[in-house]
Amino acid sequence: MKRFYDVVPKKKSAKRAQPQDVQGENFFWGKETEIAQEKSPSFFESKRFKTAFHRSALVLILLVSLLAFSYAKAVLAQNEIEKLNSNVKDELEAILNSVERGDLKGAIVSSEQLKWSVSEIKLKLQSLGQDSGYFSLIAPSDSKFANIERMYDAVNLTMEAMAEIQNISGNSLSLETEGNKDYLFDGSRVADTLNLNLEKAGSKLEKASKLLSSIKPEAIGQKLEDIENARNSLEKMRSNLEELRNFSKTGLGWLFEKSSERKILIIFQNNAELRGGSGGSLGSFGVAKISDGKITDIDFGKNIYKLDHEFEVKENIKPPEDLSWVVSDSSWTLKDSGWAVDGLEAMKKIEWFYEKESGEEVDGVFIVDTTAVVNLMDITGSIELKVYDKVITKENFRSEIEQEVHKDYFTSANNLVENEPKKIISEMMPIFLNKLMGSLGDRDKIFNLISILQRNMAEKEILIYMENDDFQRYLSRKNLSGEVDQNKSSYIYINNSNIDGLKSSLSIDESIKIKSEITSDGIVINKLNLRREHKGINLWPDGTNRNLVRMLLPNGANITNFEMVSGDFEQYRDDGYKDEKPYWITEEAGRSELRFWMTTEPGEISEVNIEYTADVLQSNGDEVLLPLIFQKQPGANADKVEYELTFPENWTPTNIANFDSQSRTIKFSFILDKDKRFLIKFSKPHL
């Protein structure tokens, strides 16, 4: 059989027609070629074919190599981007969680980290250049990239919102005191700036939320639940900012209203001597004067004791019955006016007494205890008092002030006549407050200051009351006035008052253990153990802690047992027990109140076991609810709390993951550094 290339073509004088390209040149070789009449090499053996084949093979190899390289590059970039995506998700969650906790500084730090991760992702995508098209080999869905783009647009908008919040600091909060001695702080400008920046931040968060709602989770490998949680967090963050913006317009707008005058009473109290709902023994005070939206002066006047003495000469106010046997004075005055367990009521009474004794009306009360002052000295640093030859630091603040007020001051005969032992506080506080205000123009300090203020307000080292209704509603809603919670719940609030117990309150470690049992008929039986350990030494200004306990319980609580384990429970100043019992029951602030003395010596432990029943369960459709509320006393150390609940057979907790189904118990513990609220849900038993 003849092979294709053995066939000899017939001789022709004419040229053989060749396939032409669009330019009239040979399709294979590029030029016209005359076929030789004699026997010639086959098409596949020709030199030109071999050259063309080599060229084509080389091009094909290059194309395949380029494709493989681009594919590998795309896969590598995708892996790196996925890692960064994970970082972005974690950092975005950290921002939202920080904002939800009120940790603005933490949110800003997470925002800076988020910016870096997003920038890295952009660089990775840009580095691919034309190769980004090869992502279609990995994820061919066109919608994936549209959804990724929406996600990063939402992230960028969130970062821009955080930047707007960050911009509130700096120039907007600068005091601008250089060359201007007419005022200390321009509150009106701060309120306006706060309102503007919060409005911008809220608008960006609203857009980010809408973008998240348009994302298809399956297109970017996310769960619908995760996207919804992120969107809900953004909405909550936006809602909080909107609430803060409304506060800046109404609350701060009222306080720093232009063409108006305001006066705020500032009380400095010593929580080493706990007392009532205000949180401590009232000491020095000042009055902040606000004119035309600016703080123009903070006047630190007489000490409270001197003001009280001048008032008692003119008028005698009989103390309420529950206070008359606690204080030795026959007249009720400003120093004991914060006695009510409810912080708001205590501050209203403080304001009333101040106005009565001074003849000066004020528009609100701002209470700061020594713990808050010490914490804020992280911002101010040390304070030099040249007249006293002292440098006050956060480490020696309490000891130096106590030494001067109670001992050193009275070594001078002139001071005995003057009788202003707390003058050192009045002279220190203007320097302290000026340093605090000066930090508002320092970006490095502003968020530390905000964080410290937020923590101390949440932990009730700072309390605020304002006469403006809108302002006060906001403060009450944010739990910034120390009010007693009125919601039906399994409730506990222990209020301690140090009566002639020197400065021993901060030396006490208090712990609470509660074992509760829900009976089949829906009554909750509680066994409470209260333990107070005196960690101090019997050295002035510390000493025996003579303490009156006022324990607020659920309405209608029935005391079934009161067992004194250790310590002194006899009432102070009178031998024996009041009404021949170590405790007595009354009502205060809308709650049942159990009162008893519990005196503890340095190095000793006082302990009591109390049993009581309460009707606190609530029904919600097919569920039974047990709300738990633990409130912290203003100014007090944080209690250690252990809680154990036993529930009936056939009851199943529906919102608690960790419980013992065999013993039917739920256990948890926490530090009561601020008010804590819990809700335990049970499926309703089928009878």
Looking at the structure, tell me whether residues 640 and 534 fall in a common domain. Answer: yes
Please name the residues in contact with 635: beta carbons below 8 A apart, sequence gap of 6 or more: 269, 271, 274, 278, 279, 280, 369, 371, 460, 461, 505
Give the rounded percent of residues in the chain with a pLDDT score beyond 90: 47
Above 90 in pLDDT, residue 645?
Answer: yes
Please, are residues 531 and 598 in contact by the beta-carbon 8 Å criterion? no
pLDDT at position 302, please?
A: 67
CATH number at residue 563: 2.60.40
Which residue, of 477, 503, 531, is where some domain finishes?
477
* Residues 485-529 pLDDT 10s: 999 999 999 999 998 889 999 999 999 999 999 998 899 999 999
Continuous H helices in 214-342: 224-255, 304-314, 321-324
Quick check: is 362 in a domain?
A: yes
* Residues 292-350 pLDDT 10s: 999 999 988 767 888 898 898 889 898 887 787 666 667 899 999 999 999 999 999 99
Quick check: is 51 in a domain?
A: no
Q: How confident is the model at residue 140 (pLDDT cuts 50, 70, 90)?
A: very low
Quick check: is 484 in a domain?
A: no
Q: How confident is the model at residue 379 (pLDDT cuts 50, 70, 90)?
A: very high
Looking at the structure, tell me whether residues 453 and 530 fall in a common domain. Answer: no
Q: How confident is the model at residue 624 (pLDDT cuts 50, 70, 90)?
A: very high
Above 80 in pLDDT, residue 686?
Answer: no
Place of tokens 């550094």: 673
Q: How far is CA 146 from CA 92, 217, 220, 550, 579, in A?
A: 20, 12, 10, 62, 78
The CA distance from 164 to 31, in Å, is: 69
Looking at the structure, tell me whether residues 462 and 535 fall in a common domain. Answer: no
* Residues 398-407 pLDDT 10s: 999 999 988 9
Q: How confident is the model at residue 80 (pLDDT cuts 50, 70, 90)?
A: low
Looking at the structure, tell me whether residues 329 and 463 fall in a common domain. Answer: yes
Looking at the structure, tell me whether residues 436 and 519 fall in a common domain. Answer: no
The pairing of beta strand 294-299 with beta strand 364-369: unpaired
Which carries the bigger pLDDT value, residue 442 or residue 614? 614
Above 80 in pLDDT, residue 571?
Answer: yes
Quick check: is 632 in a domain?
A: yes
Looking at the structure, tell me whether residues 438 and 511 fall in a common domain. Answer: no
Above 80 in pLDDT, residue 459?
Answer: yes
pLDDT at position 43, please?
A: 46
pLDDT at position 1, please?
A: 44
pLDDT at position 135, please?
A: 43
**Least-confidence region, from 74-78, 143-147, 248-252, 614-618:** 74-78
Please name the residues in contact with 94: beta carbons below 8 A apart, sequence gap of 6 or more: 106, 107, 110, 113
pTM for the whole structure: 0.80
Quick check: is 367 in a domain?
A: yes
The average confidence (pLDDT) of the chain is 81
As separate numbers, helices (DSSP H) first and strands (DSSP E) second, the chain gives 15, 22
The 3-state DSSP composition of the chain as helix, strand, coil percent (nearest 5) reads 45, 25, 30
Above 70 in pLDDT, residue 78?
Answer: no
Quick check: is 155 in a domain?
A: no
Closest CA to 517 of 638, 678, 408, 663: 663
Looking at the structure, tell me whether residues 525 and 456 fall in a common domain. Answer: no
Cβ neighbours, 10 Å, residue 58: 10
- As for how many domains the chain has, the answer is 3
Looking at the structure, tell me whether residues 526 and 456 fall in a common domain. Answer: no
**Least-confidence region, from 162-166, 284-288, 541-545:** 162-166
In one-letter notation, the amino acid at residue 115 is K
Q: How confident is the model at residue 589 (pLDDT cuts 50, 70, 90)?
A: very high
pLDDT at position 104, please?
A: 63
pLDDT at position 36, please?
A: 38
**Least-confidence region, from 11-20, 387-396, 432-441:** 11-20
Q: Outline where DSSP puts E strands in 579-638.
A: 584-588, 591-597, 605-614, 618-620, 623-631
- 3-state class (DSSP) for residue 405: helix
Looking at the structure, tell me whether residues 459 and 518 fall in a common domain. Answer: no
- Which range of residues forms the domain containing residue 31? 1-41
Mean pLDDT of 568-574: 82
The CA distance from 305 to 423, in Å, is: 12
Quote the radius of gyration of the chain (alpha carbons, Å).
38
Looking at the structure, tell me whether residues 470 and 499 fall in a common domain. Answer: no
Quick check: is 624 in a domain?
A: yes
pLDDT at position 303, please?
A: 77
Q: How confident is the model at residue 449 (pLDDT cuts 50, 70, 90)?
A: confident
Beta bridge partners of 678: 628
The angle subtended at Cα 472 by Cα 467 and Cα 473, nearest 5°, is 140
Looking at the structure, tell me whether residues 394 and 507 fall in a common domain. Answer: no
Quick check: is 565 in a domain?
A: yes
pLDDT at position 48, please?
A: 55
Which carries the bigger pLDDT value, residue 13 or residue 289? 289
Mean pLDDT of 130-153: 55
Instruction: Tell me which range, 30-44, 305-319, 614-628, is most confidently predicted by mean pLDDT.
Output: 614-628
* Residues 164-204 pLDDT 10s: 877 765 545 554 444 456 888 888 988 888 888 899 999 99
DSSP letters, 24-72, are SSBTTTSS--PPPSS----GGGSHHHHHHHHHHHHHHHHHHHHHHHHHH
Looking at the structure, tell me whether residues 473 and 526 fall in a common domain. Answer: no
Above 80 in pLDDT, residue 63?
Answer: no
